[in-house]
């Protein structure tokens, strides 16, 4: 047994290596796969590192020079077409989506009342001109009256002189007869006649003095009327008289109202929101339609507040529209930044003083002017979405 045990141990020791010999053959694929995995992970890491370095270099050299947003929309300064006077619509010459040129007829209003107003204003002007002519002629007549009153005064003075002479003569004659009457040299009849003659001369003298006073007063009245009439026309002509100018202004207003019965396009554009029909009576200020100037559009790009540090007026902007896609680019320039964020001008502004306040990054509209030639080649419409990118390194 003692000899058997070594033998058994020898057999067992020989058998053991035979049993363990296949193990290296089984570990070789696993080791190979582990090496490949390490190489793959290393390659991916290298690619990520290269990508990170490349992105960092690109952002430093190129990406940091631009800011962009897709929160941008086409806008325009539309023209609201409204009548200037109340009238009935006689004709509507345009329809929605129709392109019009500046000066094209849009709407015609009934001009019957306006024509009557023009005729009335013309009559008022003619009347004012005639009245001015009459006033001028009245001045000449009043001047003649003043001269006539001067002649009356001269005649009254002559009559006064004659009356004074008759009075003195009658007085002297009466006194002489009174002295002779006691001696009987003068009869009572002669004394009575002398007394009556003196009384008559005295009355004639008073009448002559009254006539002078009356002639002087009449001349003063005529002179006052002449002065007042001259004040109305002094320094003026038929063309510059205030009454004539007022009548001319009314006539000009009436003619302007007549012209306003034909409503014309104030600019080139496209008709939209037409809400007027023939036979409708419109009032001043009633919106009849809108004109969108499609050749003068702009873009309001809403950038985040953290993007606006280096944005300046005049910087170039590259834009694309969802309508045409990325194949069509528009080029514009920054023309201004809004005076407030969109939320600050909202109908119901946010109340940040409440207890449940949460900070939200605000956006500020940036106005971008577009190239008219590019708009003509690829027309846009108000409200379309745009992507905008500003070169913040460019100098304006």
pLDDT of residue 18 exceeding 50, the answer is no
55 by Cβ neighbours in 10 Å (0-12 / 13-18 / 19+) ranks as exposed
Model pLDDT for residues 287-297, shown as the tens digit of each residue: 999 999 998 99
| Residue with the larger pLDDT of the pair 10 and 107 | 107
CB burial string 118-130: b at 16+ within 10 A, e below: beebeebbeebbe
Q: What is the pLDDT of residue 2?
A: 42
Q: Under a CB-based contact definition with an 8 Å cutoff, are residues 146 and 230 in contact?
A: no
> Mean pLDDT over all residues of the chain?
82
Give the pLDDT band of residue 286 (cuts 50, 70, 90).
very high
pLDDT of residue 135 exceeding 80, the answer is no
Q: State both tokens at 118.
A: 């023009």
CA dihedral 168, 173, 175, 178 (to 10 degrees): -160
What ranges do the domains of the chain cover?
A: 63-76+293-391, 79-110+261-291, 114-256
Phi, psi of 374 (to 5 degrees): -70, -35
Kindly state the average pLDDT of the residues 289-314. Answer: 92
Cα–Cα distance for residue pair 196/189, rounded to 1 Å? 11
Model pLDDT for residues 372-395, shown as the tens digit of each residue: 999 999 999 999 999 999 998 876
The residue count of the chain comes to: 396
Phi, psi of 370 (to 5 degrees): -100, 160
The predicted model scores a pTM of 0.63
In terms of Cα–Cα distance, which of 386, 370, 378, 381 is closest to 269? 381
In DSSP terms, 264 is beta-bridged to 105
Kindly state the average pLDDT of the residues 248-256. Answer: 96
Give one word for 314, left, alpha or beta, with left for phi > 0 and alpha for psi -120 to 50. left
Lowest-confidence segment of 157-166, 171-180, 223-232, 338-347 by average pLDDT: 223-232
| Residue with the larger pLDDT of the pair 303 and 55 | 303
Does the domain at residues 114-256 carry the CATH identifier 3.40.640.10?
no
pLDDT of residue 114 exceeding 50, the answer is yes
Model pLDDT for residues 50-66, shown as the tens digit of each residue: 777 776 765 565 556 78
pLDDT of residue 23 exceeding 50, the answer is no
Model pLDDT for residues 322-363, shown as the tens digit of each residue: 999 989 999 999 999 998 887 777 777 776 766 677 788 889
Q: What is the pLDDT of residue 248?
A: 94
Q: How many H helices and E strands in the chain?
A: 6, 14
Cα–Cα distance for residue pair 225/146, rounded to 1 Å? 9
Cα–Cα distance for residue pair 237/128, rounded to 1 Å? 12
CATH number of 63-76+293-391: 2.40.30.170
Alpha helices in the chain (DSSP H): 4-20, 23-61, 112-180, 188-233, 242-259, 372-377
Q: What is the pLDDT of residue 177?
A: 73
β-pairing, 79-81 vs 99-100, is unpaired
Q: What is the pLDDT of residue 60?
A: 60
Query: 3-class SS at 242?
Result: helix
Give one word for 194, left, alpha or beta, with left for phi > 0 and alpha for psi -120 to 50. alpha
pLDDT of residue 222 exceeding 80, the answer is no
Kindly state the average pLDDT of the residues 143-170. Answer: 80
Kindly state the average pLDDT of the residues 208-224. Answer: 80
Residue given tokens 């306006």 in the structure block:
114
Q: Which CATH architecture has domain 79-110+261-291?
A: Beta Barrel (2.40)
Q: Under a CB-based contact definition with an 8 Å cutoff, are residues 251 and 118 in contact?
A: yes
Angle between helices 242-259 and 112-180 (to 10 degrees): 170
Q: What is the pLDDT of residue 272?
A: 95
Q: Under a CB-based contact definition with an 8 Å cutoff, are residues 125 and 244 in contact?
A: yes
Q: State both tokens at 324.
A: 């045409």
């Amino acid at each position: 047994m003692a000899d058997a045990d070594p033998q058994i141990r020898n057999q067992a020791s020989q058998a053991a290596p035979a049993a363990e010999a296949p193990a290296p053959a089984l570990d070789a694929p696993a080791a190979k796969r582990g090496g490949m995995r390490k190489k793959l992970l290393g390659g991916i890491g290298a690619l990520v590192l290269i990508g990170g370095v490349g992105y960092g270099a690109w952002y430093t050299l190129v990406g940091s020079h631009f800011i962009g947003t897709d929160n941008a929309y086409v806008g325009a300064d539309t023209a609201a077409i409204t009548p200037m006077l109340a009238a009935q619509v006689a004709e509507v010459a345009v329809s929605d989506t129709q392109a019009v040129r500046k000066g094209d007829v849009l709407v015609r209003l009934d001009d019957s009342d306006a024509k009557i107003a023009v005729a009335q204003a013309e009559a008022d002007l003619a009347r004012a001109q005639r009245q001015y002519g009459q006033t001028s002629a009245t001045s000449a007549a009043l001047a003649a009256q003043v001269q006539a009153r001067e002649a009356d005064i001269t005649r009254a003075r002559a009559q006064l002189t004659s009356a004074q002479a008759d009075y003195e003569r009658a007085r002297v004659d009466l006194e002489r007869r009174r002295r002779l009457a006691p001696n009987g040299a003068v009869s009572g009849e002669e004394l009575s006649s002398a007394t009556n003659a003196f009384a008559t001369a005295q009355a004639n003298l008073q009448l002559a003095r009254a006539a002078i006073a009356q002639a002087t007063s009449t001349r003063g009245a005529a002179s006052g009327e002449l002065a007042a009439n001259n004040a109305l026309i002094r320094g003026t002509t038929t063309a510059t008289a205030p009454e004539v100018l007022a009548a001319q202004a009314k006539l000009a207003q009436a003619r302007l109202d007549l012209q306003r019965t034909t409503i014309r396009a104030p600019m080139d554009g496209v008709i939209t929101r037409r809400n007027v029909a023939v036979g409708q009576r419109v009032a001043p200020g009633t919106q009849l339609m809108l004109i969108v100037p499609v050749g003068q559009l702009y873009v309001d790009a809403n950038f985040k507040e953290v993007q606006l540090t280096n944005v300046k007026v005049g910087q170039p902007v590259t834009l694309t529209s969802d309508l045409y896609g990325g194949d069509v680019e528009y080029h514009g320039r920054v023309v201004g930044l809004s005076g407030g964020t969109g939320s600050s001008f909202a109908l119901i502004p946010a109340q940040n003083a409440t207890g449940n306040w949460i900070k939200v990054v605000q956006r500020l509209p940036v106005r971008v002017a577009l190239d008219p030639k590019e708009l003509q080649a690829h027309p846009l419409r108000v409200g379309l979405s745009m992507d905008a990118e500003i070169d913040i390194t460019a100098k304006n």
